[in-house]
Homo-oligomer: A and B are copies of this chain.
Amino acid sequence: MKLLIPQEKLKKGLNIVEKISSKSLTLPILNNILISAKKNFLNLSATDLEIGVNWWVLGKIEKEGELTIPAKLLFNFINLLPDKNVSLESKGNNLIIECDNYNTQVKGLSAEEFPIIPKITEGESITINSDSFCQNLIQVVDIAVPSATRPEISGVYFLFQKNLITIAATDSFRLGEKKVFLKSKTSLEKDYSLILPQKTVKEIVNIFGEKKGDLRIYFSSNQIMFECYMEETPHPEIQVVSRLIEGEYPNYQEIIPKKYTTQAILNKNDFLNQVKTASLFSGKINEIKFKIDSKKNKINIFSESSEVGKHESSILAKIKGDPIQISFNHRFLLDGLMTIKSSEIILELNGDSGPGVIKSVGDETYLYVVMPIKGN
Contacts and interface: CB of A to CB of B under 8 A. Distances in A.
Interface of A: 70, 73, 76-77, 80-82, 94, 101-107, 273-274, 276-277, 280-281, 307-315
Contacts of A281: 104
Given A101-B314, A105-B310, 9 more contacts: A70-B308, A94-B309, A101-B315, A102-B311, A102-B312, A104-B311, A105-B311, A106-B309, A107-B307
A312 B97 CA distance: 10
Contacts of A81: 277
Contact of A80 (B106, B273, B308): B273
A75 to B, nearest CB: 10
A14 to B, nearest CB: 14
Contacts of A101: 313-315
A106 B277 CA distance: 13
A77 B280 contact: yes
A280 B76 contact: yes
Nearest to A95: B309
A73 B310 CA distance: 12
Given A73-B280, A76-B280, A77-B280, A103 B273 contact: no
A309 B80 contact: no
A102 B73 CA distance: 53
Contact of A277 (B94, B102, B274, B314): B102
Contacts of A307: 107
A8 to B, nearest CB: 16
A70 B102 CA distance: 56
A105 B309 contact: yes
B104 A309 contact: yes
A33 to B, nearest CB: 15
Contact of A106 (B106, B276, B308): B308
B73 A308 contact: yes
Contacts of A105: 309-311
A82 B280 CA distance: 16
Contacts of A310: 104-105
Nearest to A305: B107
Contacts of A76: 280
A239 to B, nearest CB: 29
A277 B76 CA distance: 8
A146 B369 CA distance: 51
Contacts of A311: 102-105
Nearest to A78: B277
A308 B311 CA distance: 58
A103 B313 contact: yes
A274 B101 CA distance: 10
A312 B276 CA distance: 54
Nearest to A277: B80
Contacts of A315: 101
A13 to B, nearest CB: 19
Contacts of A314: 101
A280 B78 CA distance: 11
Given A101-B315, A315-B101, A107 B309 contact: yes
Nearest to A94: B309
